[in-house]
Chain A
Amino acid sequence: MNEMDRNLAAGQPAAAVAVTPTEPAKSKSVRGRTWLAIRHSPIAMVGGSIVAFWIACALFAPWIAPYPPNKPDALLLAYPYPSAAHWLGVDNLGRDILSRLIWGARTVLTVAPVAVLGAATLGIILGLLAGYRGGWIDAVIMRTGDTLLAFPRIILYLIIIARFGASAFNIILVVTVTAAPIIARIVRGVTLDVRNRDYVAAARMRGESASYIMFVEILPNARGPLIVDLFLRLGFTTVTIGALGFLGVGLPPPDPDWGGMVKETYGMIFIWPHMTLFPAAAISSLVIGFNFLATGLQEMARDG
Chain B
Amino acid sequence: MADKLHPIIKLAGREFADGKLDRRDFLRVATLLGVAAPIAFGMAGLPIPARAQGTPKKGGIVRLGSRVHDLKSPHTYSWVEAANGARQCLDYLTYTGVDNVTRPNLVEKWEASPDLKSWTLRLRRDVTWRKDNRKFTADDVAWNLKRMLDAKTGSSVVGLFKGFILEEFETGEKDDKGVAKKSTRLWDANAIQKVDDFTIRLNGKTANLGIPEALFHYPALIMDPLENGEFKVGSNGTGAFEMVELDVGKRAKFVARKSGHWGGGANIDAFEIIDLGDDSAAQVTALVSKQVDMIYQGAIGTYATIERIPHLQINIVDTAYTAVARVHSIKPFDDKRVRQALRHATDPDAVLKLAHRGLGKPGEHHHVAPTHPEYANVGYMKQDIAKAKALLVEAGYPGGIDAEIVCRPQPDWELLAVQTMVEQWKEAGIRVKINVMPSAQYWSNWTKVPFGFTTWAHRPLGTMVLSLAYRTGGAWNEANWSNAEFDKMITEAEGYLEVDKRRAVMAKLERIMLDEGPIVVPLWRQVFNYTDKKIKGYKLHPSSYIEAKDMWIDA
Q: Which residues of A contact B (CB under 8 A)?
A: 70-72, 74, 77, 92-94, 162, 165-166, 248-249, 252-254, 264-272
Q: Are A252 and B281 also in contact (CB < 8 A) when A71-B423, A92-B301 are? A: no
Enumerate chain B residues within 8 angstroms of A92, measured Cβ to Cβ: 301, 416
| Residues 408 to 462 of chain B near chain A (Cβ within 8 Å) | 409, 412, 415-416, 418-420, 422-423, 433-438
Rounded to whole angstroms, the CA-CA distance of A265 and B438 in the bound complex is 19
- Residues in B with CB closer than 8 Å to A165 are 435, 437
Q: How far is the CA of A200 from the CA of B529 in the complex (A)?
A: 72
Whether the pair B420, A267 counts as a contact (CB closer than 8 A) is no
Bitwise interface map of B from 487 to 502 toward A, beta carbon under 8 Å scored 1, else 0: 0000000000000000
From B284, B409, B436, residue with most partner A Cβ within 10 Å = B436
Say yes or no: is B304 at the interface (Cβ < 8 Å to chain A).
Answer: yes
With A71-B423, A77-B354 in contact, do A267 and B301 touch (Cβ < 8 Å)? yes
B419–A72 touching, CB < 8 Å: yes
Q: Give the size of the chain B interface in residues (CB under 8 angstroms).
A: 30
Chain B residue numbers with a CB within 8 Å of A72 are 350, 354, 419-420, 423
Q: In the assembled complex, which residues on chain A have CB atoms less than 8 Å from the CB atom of B433?
A: 252
Of residues 151 through 186 on chain B, the ones whose CB sits less than 8 Å from some CB of chain A are none
Per-residue interface assignment for chain B, residues 280 to 307, with 1 indicating a CB less than 8 Å from any chain A CB and 0 otherwise = 1100100010000000000101101100
A-side contacts of B418, CB under 8 Å: 253
Q: Tell me whether B304 and A271 are in contact (CB under 8 A).
A: yes
Q: Using CB atoms, name the residue of chain B closest to A251.
A: B436
Contact A70 B301 (CB under 8 A): no
Instruction: List the B side residues contacting A94 at CB < 8 Å.
Output: 354
Question: Smallest Cβ distance from A80 to chain B, in angstroms?
Answer: 9
| In-complex Cβ contact of A70 among B354, B419, B438 (8 A) | B419
A269 to B288, alpha carbons, bound, how many Å? 13
Q: Are A252 and B435 in contact (CB under 8 A)?
A: yes
Question: Which chain B residues lie closer than 8 Å to A70 at the CB level?
Answer: 419, 423
Task: Report how far A93 CA is from B356 CA in the complex, Å.
Answer: 10
Residue ID in chain B nearest A266 by CB atoms: B281
With contacts A70-B419, A70-B423, A72-B423 taken as known, whether A271 is within 8 angstroms of B305 at the C-beta atoms is yes
**Is residue B4 within 8 Å, beta carbon to beta carbon, of the partner chain?**
no
5 closest pairs, A vs B, by CB? A267-B281, A267-B301, A74-B353, A267-B302, A254-B419
Given contacts A72-B420, A92-B416, A253-B436, contact A268 B350 (CB under 8 A): no
Whether A93 pairs with B353 at a CB distance below 8 angstroms is no
A225-B252 Cα distance, complex, nearest whole Å: 53
Let me know if B308 is at the binding interface, CB within 8 A. Answer: yes
Complex Cα distance, B408 from A249, in Å, reads 11
With CB as the reference atom, state the residue of chain A lying closest to B307.
Answer: A271
Q: What's the Cα separation between A272 and B307 when bound, in Å? A: 13
Q: By the criterion CB–CB under 8 Å, are A271 and B308 in contact?
A: yes
- CA A207 – CA B309 in complex, angstroms? 78
